[in-house]
Chain A
Amino acid sequence: MEWKGSGNNDLEAAVSMGIEKFILSPFVNFVPQPFASYIVQAHGFASTIAKTVMDTLCMNNYTGGFIDTNYMVPLPASKDTVFMYPSPQIAKGMLKACRLFQKQKGLQKRRKRPGRKTPASRMRRAWKHPLVGCALPCSQRYKTRQSMATACGYLRKASMKSGGYATKADGLGAEIDITGYTPDRIRNFSIIAHIDHGKSTLADRLLETTGVITKSGKNKQVLDKLKVERERGITVKAQSASMFCEHDGRKYLVNLIDTPGHVDFSYEVSRSLAACQGTILLVDAAQGIQAQTVANFYLAFGEGLAVIPMLNKVDLPTAEPDRAALQIESAFEIDAANIVHLSAKTGLGIDRVLPSVIERIPAPSGSIDAPFKALLFDTWYDKYVGVVCLMAIKDGAVRRGDRVVSMHSGTRYEVMEVGIMHPEQRPATQLQVGQVGYVVCNMKSVAEAHVGDTFHKDKFPVVPLPGFAPAKSMVFAGVFPLDAGEFDKLNESIQKLTLNDSSVAVHKETSAALGQGWRLGFLGTLHMDVFRQRLEEEYDASVLVTAPTVPYRVQYKDGTSKYIQTPADFPTAIEIQDKVDAVMEPFVLATLIFPEQYLGAMLELCTMHRGDIHTHTYLDESRVMLKCRMPTAEMVTDFYDQLKSRSQGFASFDYEDNGYNESDLVKMEVLLNGEAVDALAAVMHRDNVATVGRTMAKRLKDVIRRQLFDIIIQTAANGKVVARETVKQLRKNVTAKCYGGDISRKMKLLNKQKEGKKRMKKIGRVELPQEAFLSVMTGSKE
């Protein structure tokens, strides 16, 4: 193996100059030899490069990865080992580390010199953060995983011998033994709450009191690992954590499964609930019951879980715990007499939470002697080990080396590692009945891991558990790269992101206006927004997202039906006349909870959005719960924003699917100089065409810049023009003064304009700025 270019020299130069960041062009030339195994070992600065190499390998369908450790890294000797080093000293250190490893493995005679510092202790000082990676071609994946696992094992052993030098945070402790925790010593619970009622904060406090994380005052939403989760203060991805605690002199293993709070992610909530026996229903004592409290309660109730109501934020001056308790009683008909009052922020009442959980939530059922049976309820993709599965063990036990089978696909897997989330992955010797933990078993893609699947041991089949229906996309949107040249990069980013979010449906799409892109299905508009934000933040992608549409259904006269995910697929007027029996649109049943003074405004809002009011009930003397059936399409545009503004933020909202209804739908097209722009088309109810058509034409007029010819903007439905605007021809565009001193400025401006022009989308000769697409997306009714 060799580096093309002068990577190492450049590197050394950079290091000697103290440059911390270094863009590595030589790696463009890096060509891994197929079917060879590489181990890349590097330290400090070089580790960045090692990472780059590994990423290159992984991108090229080689698998492998890194292990970060606080200890030197002994590895099985390989003739293809690549050492990347910023200085000769480190290289020397590397070799020593390898020799040390060989000694430990008894591969070499140990020459003991008492009183002398061991190479290990020197290494510990020298290498604060060595980094190891290892990659193999796909064909040898099985072996790779094994060697990775072996390497992991070595690491852990090494760190144990180093006297716990590797910290807990690295998850590199020894395998822990939790076999003593039989079902009666286990409680599995979740916390359900409306967004912002303090669920994640309560989780932080529980983890602190049980010593899973240290009390530092810095623990803010520990389980919310994504940047977007912390920024927006929401949980998107369910997480779980195991805690050990003592109650009445007995030790318990308590597993908390954190759930997302936002309505878009209720699918994740129901998955998480299936792994629990009980749940804490957390209600903000100041705000009282909110729409999601209701929705989540019924989810838990439907699963037959024990529900423990608790009031949070009782320390707030505006808190009205008695009133909130009354609401809980009247809404859910559960006894709220002994309700736990707590303040997750200050820690008040936290000591009562786990005892209530242990006392009031039943222990998981199942038997250690029965054959192994587990429910897969969540997965995520780990760059280095592949898919990590979160499983609730229903019967029996599983340990490393076991062969397990997916009932869904019949595929066999070898278990490489089991453990609990503490709160990071912490390997355990065995997972057994009643416990909840992770299993790493050689799964290469999330597609293989069907959430809701039942696993059993090879040759010991069991009766499968009831699974879950797969997540259903509520909204679809086109996603396109801003710069067509970035398609491949974006493709990769989307692939990586969907590895961890299987609820996003991905289809390729080609638009005449925007080029190649994707049509993605999301659980809701927040989900869509979060996905876009993650794309931009985690993958540095700049994307154009078209207006969201809902899955309309077209029923043909011949009995077939088709789901419309993009306006482009919508049948033409003639087709509708000749072939279509009915055009259906999806509906939701929305639940709104708000103070009674907003009743008028809320009723008006629902009617405006073609809503059909079912009931409105008073939860107490001043809070109203309104149920209303409305088209999903109305909900995805600006309903939520309007709800918040019209109720001054006091109304909360949740929804569930409510089937399809026939509807008078038409496709509205936008024409620029007579040419239809597919990416701006939208399907909508006939009643909305006139207003939406007019506002859209006006907005486009505002964002389209004048060109050398008149631009006629038309919005049309069924071939009939609804609105028309003209952007007049540009009459003059020339710099008045241009002499010697103006030249550089003029050229700079010109190049900036050229860049701007590149980002424009061309429809015929008309240049359409990005804002055109954004303007159509946001709020269609004003």
Chain B
Amino acid sequence: MAPARTPLSLYVHWPYCSFLCRFCAFSKARVPASGVDHALVTRALLAELRTSLAPHSKDKELRSIYFGGGTPSLAQPAHVAQIIEQASRLVPLAANAEITLESNPTSAETNKMAAFKAAGITRYSIGIQTLDDGVLQRMGRLHSGAEALAAANRAASLFPGHVSLDMMFGFESQTVDQWQRELETVLAHANGHLSLYQLTVEPGTPLFRDIRAQRVKRNPDDTLALMYETAVALCRSRGLAHYEVSNYAASPESQSAHNIGYWQGRQWIGIGPSAHSRFIDPASGTCLRTVCIPDIQRWVRSCLEHGHGTAKTETVDDAEARQEAVVFGLRMLDGLSNSRFMRTGCVSSGALSLAEYLRVDQVQRYVRDGYLRSSGSLDHLAPTERGLQVIDSILLDILP
């Protein structure tokens, strides 16, 4: 029998958007007036895909592919199919591999949904964000709440049990009651998975500038905390289990396998402008983190000339790898097992157990105070609901 192949994820960044949201800090660009040269972008993506996946063809297996952006639902289904096909030719695709596509709920994109399914997409993620048409407009989103719900319904019929709806809370002037009502509506249309994000004001976004200039008010921290708590309680009552800070799923099968990969420290290859990768270089055995050129034109040029658009490559040392394992592992309510920690992707020096790595006195204090759960002598460590809510503070104390 051939040795088991190591799981690998693939992230494909499609950089264009038909509109730019005021809160978005991702790398993106508005579709140019002359339209997107789909063939050119696809050619560049394919070139980069070939270069970056080829070294992994021998010992890896693709567990998930994720089309993010940008707005990948603006891409042509045929090109998506080409990328999936090329990827699976380079690295074998696992039998039950999850292939997700992010989309905006405009009617034009909803009409392409079936074609995406035919192209090989198995999971569909819709960025609803809010049902409040006023807020949608203020945030620069060109669709309505009704369109969003229609898209959700269409997706539910095409991808039963594998639809994710993205929502945000904490918009200016939003009250806890409004949020609760909105969430109830969305829950009625949900089919398997919800992502509920607190609106985060990232530096460099138009929203950040609005807040700094006091054109837009921020919700008080305690209100945001209450909205978060409301979401957790409401989802639970509707049978959607909270499994990560902002993610809820009806069953383990509905969880996002691709994203869990990030939190569990799986290796991934990212292609497209500004995409990150993190993998063990098969040639040297060291763990690398790479970042692609963020500018679309320069990235395309680089891909076509050199076969890749990597701008920066860094080695991830053992200390970083361990820290990442804890920081990301504890974002999930399932937490982090010692055995997984000891196998942490990149660690080259001798294995270290959680008990050896973490500040055990602090861990024990948080366990005692009901913020963390642990079994045995740190065979497994996980946050409680209460702990997850303040995990960033806890991490500062328990990390060495």
- Tell me the A residues contacting B by CB distance below 8 Å: 707-708, 728, 730-741, 743-744, 746-747, 750, 753-754, 757
Interface centre among A730, A737, A741 (most CB of B within 10 A): A741
Q: Which of B156-203 contact A (CB under 8 A)?
A: 197-198, 200
* Interface residue B246 (Cβ < 8 Å from any Cβ of A): yes
Q: Which residue of A has the minimal Cβ distance to B292?
A: A741
Q: How far is the CA of A734 from the CA of B327 in the complex (A)?
A: 11
Instruction: From the candidates B276, B390, B395, B399, name the one contacting A732 in the complex (CB within 8 A).
Output: B390
Kindly supply a per-residue 1/0 record for chain B positions 219-234, scoring 1 wherever the CB is within 8 Å of any chain A CB and 0 otherwise: 0011011001000000
Instruction: From the candidates B197, B259, B393, name the one contacting A736 in the complex (CB within 8 A).
Output: B197
Given contacts A732-B221, A736-B198, contact A741 B274 (CB under 8 A): yes
Interface centre among A738, A747, A753 (most CB of B within 10 A): A738
Q: How far is the CA of A772 from the CA of B180 in the complex (A)?
A: 40
Interface centre among A707, A740, A750, A754 (most CB of B within 10 A): A740
Instruction: From the candidates A731, A743, A753, name the one contacting B221 in the complex (CB within 8 A).
Output: A731
Given contacts A732-B225, A734-B245, A754-B396, contact A740 B390 (CB under 8 A): no
* Interface residue B328 (Cβ < 8 Å from any Cβ of A): yes
Contact A740 B276 (CB under 8 A): yes
Contacting residues, chain B, for A737 (C-beta < 8 A):
197, 200, 246
Q: How far is the CA of A735 from the CA of B270 in the complex (A)?
A: 22
Contacting residues, chain A, for B79 (C-beta < 8 A):
none
Contact B323 A747 (CB under 8 A): yes
Q: How far is the CA of A109 from the CA of B394 in the complex (A)?
A: 80
Instruction: From the candidates A731, A735, A744, name the one contacting B225 in the complex (CB within 8 A).
Output: A731
Q: How far is the CA of A327 from the CA of B259 in the complex (A)?
A: 83
Instruction: From the candidates B259, B291, B324, B394, name the one contacting A739 in the complex (CB within 8 A).
Output: B259
Contact B278 A708 (CB under 8 A): no
Contacting residues, chain B, for A746 (C-beta < 8 A):
327
Contacting residues, chain B, for A757 (C-beta < 8 A):
396
* Interface residue B275 (Cβ < 8 Å from any Cβ of A): yes
Instruction: From the candidates A738, A743, A753, name the one contacting B276 in the complex (CB within 8 A).
Output: A743
- Tell me the B residues contacting A by CB distance below 8 Å: 11, 26, 197-198, 200, 221-222, 224-225, 228, 245-246, 259, 262-263, 268, 270, 274-278, 289, 291, 320, 323-324, 327-328, 331, 369, 371, 388-396, 399
Q: How far is the CA of A735 from the CA of B395 in the complex (A)?
A: 12
Q: How far is the CA of A750 from the CA of B392 in the complex (A)?
A: 8
Contact A730 B320 (CB under 8 A): no
Instruction: From the candidates A708, A741, A747, A750, name the one contacting B390 in the complex (CB within 8 A).
Output: A708
Contact B390 A736 (CB under 8 A): no
Given contacts A741-B274, A750-B395, contact A736 B262 (CB under 8 A): no
Contact B393 A707 (CB under 8 A): yes
Contact B391 A734 (CB under 8 A): yes
Contact A730 B390 (CB under 8 A): yes
Q: How far is the CA of A328 from the CA of B68 in the complex (A)?
A: 83
Contacting residues, chain A, for B391 (C-beta < 8 A):
733-734
Contact A733 B276 (CB under 8 A): no
Q: Smallest distance from the beta carbon of A766 to chain B beta carbons, Å?
A: 13
Contact A754 B224 (CB under 8 A): no
Given contacts A731-B221, A732-B228, A750-B396, contact A743 B389 (CB under 8 A): no
Contacting residues, chain A, for B393 (C-beta < 8 A):
707-708, 730, 733
Contact A735 B392 (CB under 8 A): yes
Q: How far is the CA of A740 from the CA of B277 in the complex (A)?
A: 7
Q: Smallest distance from the beta carbon of A521 to chain B beta carbons, Å?
A: 38
6 chain-A/chain-B pairs, Cβ below 8 angstroms: A730-B393, A738-B263, A738-B328, A753-B392, A754-B396, A757-B396
Given contacts A735-B245, A746-B327, A754-B399, contact A740 B262 (CB under 8 A): yes
Given contacts A736-B200, A743-B289, 5 further A-B contacts (CB under 8 A): A707-B393, A734-B331, A739-B262, A744-B289, A744-B291
Contacting residues, chain A, for B396 (C-beta < 8 A):
750, 753-754, 757
Q: Which residue of A has the minimal Cβ distance to B246?
A: A736
Q: Smallest distance from the beta carbon of A277 to chain B beta carbons, Å?
A: 66
Contacting residues, chain A, for B275 (C-beta < 8 A):
740-741
Q: Smallest distance from the beta carbon of B193 to chain A beta carbons, Å?
A: 15
Q: How far is the CA of A736 from the CA of B262 in the complex (A)?
A: 15
Q: Smallest distance from the beta carbon of B70 to chain A beta carbons, Å?
A: 12
Q: How far is the CA of A743 from the CA of B276 in the complex (A)?
A: 9
Q: Smallest distance from the beta carbon of B334 to chain A beta carbons, Å?
A: 15
Interface centre among A707, A735, A753, A757 (most CB of B within 10 A): A735
Q: How far is the CA of A736 from the CA of B270 in the complex (A)?
A: 21
Contacting residues, chain A, for B328 (C-beta < 8 A):
738, 743
Contacting residues, chain A, for B399 (C-beta < 8 A):
750, 754
Contacting residues, chain B, for A730 (C-beta < 8 A):
390, 393
Contact B395 A744 (CB under 8 A): no
Contacting residues, chain B, for A744 (C-beta < 8 A):
276, 289, 291
Q: How far is the CA of A743 from the CA of B388 in the complex (A)?
A: 18
Contacting residues, chain A, for B331 (C-beta < 8 A):
734, 738
Q: How far is the CA of A750 from the CA of B331 in the complex (A)?
A: 14
Q: Which residue of A has the minimal Cβ distance to B274?
A: A741
Given contacts A740-B276, A741-B275, A744-B276, contact A731 B389 (CB under 8 A): yes
Contact B278 A743 (CB under 8 A): yes
Q: Which residue of A has the minimal Cβ distance to B394?
A: A708
Contacting residues, chain A, for B245 (C-beta < 8 A):
734-736, 738
Q: Which residue of A has the minimal Cβ distance to B245?
A: A734
Q: How far is the CA of A241 from the CA of B289 in the complex (A)?
A: 64
User: Considering the complex of A and B, which 10 residue pairs feature the smallest CB-CB distances, nearest first?
Assistant: A731-B225, A732-B225, A736-B198, A741-B276, A733-B392, A736-B197, A733-B390, A733-B393, A734-B391, A732-B389
Q: Which residue of B has the minimal Cβ distance to A751?
A: B323
Q: Which residue of A has the minimal Cβ distance to B391?
A: A734
Contacting residues, chain B, for A731 (C-beta < 8 A):
221-222, 225, 389-390
Q: How far is the CA of A735 from the CA of B198 in the complex (A)?
A: 9
Q: Which residue of B has the minimal Cβ distance to A749?
A: B392
Q: Which residue of B has the minimal Cβ distance to A744?
A: B289
Contacting residues, chain B, for A740 (C-beta < 8 A):
11, 262, 268, 270, 275-278
Contacting residues, chain A, for B389 (C-beta < 8 A):
731-734
Contacting residues, chain B, for A741 (C-beta < 8 A):
26, 270, 274-276
Q: Which residue of B has the minimal Cβ distance to A728?
A: B222
Q: How far is the CA of A728 from the CA of B228 in the complex (A)?
A: 18
Q: Smallest distance from the beta carbon of B328 to chain A beta carbons, Å?
A: 7
Q: How far is the CA of A747 from the CA of B326 in the complex (A)?
A: 11
Q: Smallest distance from the beta carbon of A634 to chain B beta carbons, Å?
A: 40
Contact B320 A747 (CB under 8 A): yes
Q: How far is the CA of A171 from the CA of B330 in the complex (A)?
A: 68
Contacting residues, chain B, for A707 (C-beta < 8 A):
393
Contacting residues, chain A, for B225 (C-beta < 8 A):
731-732
Q: Smallest distance from the beta carbon of B302 to chain A beta carbons, Å?
A: 18
Q: How far is the CA of A754 from the CA of B397 in the complex (A)?
A: 9
Q: How far is the CA of A750 from the CA of B399 in the complex (A)?
A: 10
Q: How far is the CA of A741 from the CA of B272 in the complex (A)?
A: 12
Q: How far is the CA of A707 from the CA of B369 in the complex (A)?
A: 14
Q: How far is the CA of A744 from the CA of B197 in the complex (A)?
A: 20
Q: How far is the CA of A707 from the CA of B371 in the complex (A)?
A: 14
Q: Which residue of A has the minimal Cβ distance to B199?
A: A736
Contact A732 B262 (CB under 8 A): no
Q: Smallest distance from the beta carbon of A768 to chain B beta carbons, Å?
A: 15
Contacting residues, chain B, for A736 (C-beta < 8 A):
197-198, 200, 245-246
Contact B390 A734 (CB under 8 A): yes
Q: How far is the CA of A443 from the CA of B398 in the complex (A)?
A: 54
Q: Smallest distance from the beta carbon of A711 to chain B beta carbons, Å?
A: 13
Q: How far is the CA of A746 from the CA of B327 in the complex (A)?
A: 9
Q: How far is the CA of A191 from the CA of B393 in the complex (A)?
A: 60
Contacting residues, chain A, for B263 (C-beta < 8 A):
738
Q: Smallest distance from the beta carbon of B72 to chain A beta carbons, Å?
A: 14
Q: Which residue of A has the minimal Cβ distance to B323?
A: A747
Q: How far is the CA of A735 from the CA of B394 in the complex (A)?
A: 13
Q: Which residue of A has the minimal Cβ distance to B365?
A: A765
Q: Smallest distance from the beta carbon of A774 to chain B beta carbons, Å?
A: 23
Contacting residues, chain A, for B369 (C-beta < 8 A):
708
Contacting residues, chain B, for A743 (C-beta < 8 A):
262, 276, 278, 289, 324, 328
Contacting residues, chain B, for A750 (C-beta < 8 A):
323, 327, 392, 395-396, 399
